[in-house]
Amino acid sequence: MLQREYKTTIWRYVRIWFLNLRASIKKSNTYKGEIFVRFFRTFFILGIQVLLLTLVFGNIL
Amino acid sequence: MKEKINQKSNFKNILKRITKMFFAQEFMHKEQLIVWIIADIVKMAGLCFVWSASAKITGNMDQGYVITYYVLMILVSKLMQDITPANGVQQILNGKFSNSLLKPMSYLTEYLGSNLGSNLFRLIVSVPAFVLGMYITSRLGFWIVDFNPYLIFLGLIAVAIGFLINFLLGNIFALIAFYNKNMEGMRIFYNNIAATFSGEYIPFVALPLLALFTVQVLPFRYTLSFPIEILLGRMTNYDLGVGFIIGTIWLIALYVLYLVLFKISIKKYAAEGI
């Protein structure tokens, strides 16, 4: 059987990129707990950094 | 009665053998471990410089107290480490946890032995850095500990309570792996919380009153800061008593919580990795 040939223009790669993006967004639903924790962690780290700087250099707010 | 004594000596023997085994295992990867310990010491030295500079600028704390606090941390932190949030979680996720369930002993005995073995090795490797830190701070006139035997005794009890609290916290955290199959972010978050509230990043002497009250009530203080505060010798008898009471209450509460949560969570175990 002959192999099917694909056009290797830039649009093919754009299409693959979008397919990958869609698949990873779908996958992120599976790990929503993990994503929420990572999102929440950024605020926690920000809070700690503000506290740390306040304690080291005095009141910065 | 006789059976109980046999069980007790069995537990001791098994724990001793596992501790020896993990000590030998850590020795096999000693190069990697030494690099980890150097990284730890660099982190502590960095924190020591930041807080001693802060003490000098703001004048809110005694410079000697902060510097001695971080030098003592080099040694005490090695005794308190728990590898369950990394290894235990991994075992549940890859299905190897099934092996632990089939063994004729609780998997906690195995984890306890592995922690004791690796902590013992880390402690021995850290001693030269501690002695060097102590020598330098003494020469500079910042060392404030006078090695009072009574305080050392209390410090060792606090270390034992703190290690067990840390061990139970780690094992309770590991139970989340029965429900959630991607634990990397959660583990990092747990480590951040533990490091912040245990006094690793911020010595409690620098905290305002409200924050100090909060960290004194949480269990994380007893996993690192409390034994160091005892060894520093600046605590009143009242503070010591309250500290030990809160630590013991946490130890009992966490053990009960672990038993209840394990009973519920184990039903969700599917050993996917096998």
Question: From the list B182, B189, B193, which residue is nearest A31 (CB)?
Answer: B182
Which pLDDT tens digit goes with each residue over B126-165?
Answer: 888 889 889 998 998 888 888 889 999 999 999 999 999 9
Tell me if B273 is assigned to some domain. Answer: no
Helix (H) or strand (E) holding B74: helix B63-80
Query: For residue B255, is pLDDT > 60?
Result: yes
Chain A residues touching B185 at Cβ < 8 A: 34-35, 37-38, 41
What is the distance in angstroms between the Cα of B226 and the nearest Cα belonging to chain A? 20
Question: CA A19, CA B126: separation in Å to the nearest integer?
Answer: 51
Which pLDDT belongs to residue B7? 65
Report the pLDDT averaged over residues A17-34: 84
Which pLDDT belongs to residue B49? 85
Nearest CA in chain A to B197: A48
Query: Is A44–B189 a contact, with Cβ atoms under 8 angstroms apart?
Result: yes
- Residue B96's CB: how many other CB atoms inside 10 A? 14
Number of domains in chain B: 1
Question: CA A49, CA A53: separation in Å to the nearest integer?
Answer: 6
Instruction: Give the tokens for residue B142.
Output: 């910042």
Question: From the list A34, A51, A56, which residue is nearest B185 (CB)?
Answer: A34
Query: For residue B238, is pLDDT > 70?
Result: yes
Which DSSP string corresponds to B120-133?
HHHHHHHHHHHHHH
Which pLDDT tens digit goes with each residue over B176-214?
Answer: 999 888 888 899 999 999 999 999 888 888 888 888 899
Backbone angles phi, psi at B266, to 5 degrees: -60, -25
Which pLDDT belongs to residue A1? 66
Structural domain range at position B41:
2-268
What is the pLDDT confidence band of residue B23, given thresholds at 50, 70 and 90?
confident
Give Cα separations from A18 to A11, A32, A33, B224 (angstroms).
10, 21, 24, 48
Tell me if B41 is assigned to some domain. Answer: yes
What is the distance in angstroms between the Cα of B57 and the nearest Cα belonging to chain A? 8
Question: CA B177, CA A39: separation in Å to the nearest integer?
Answer: 19
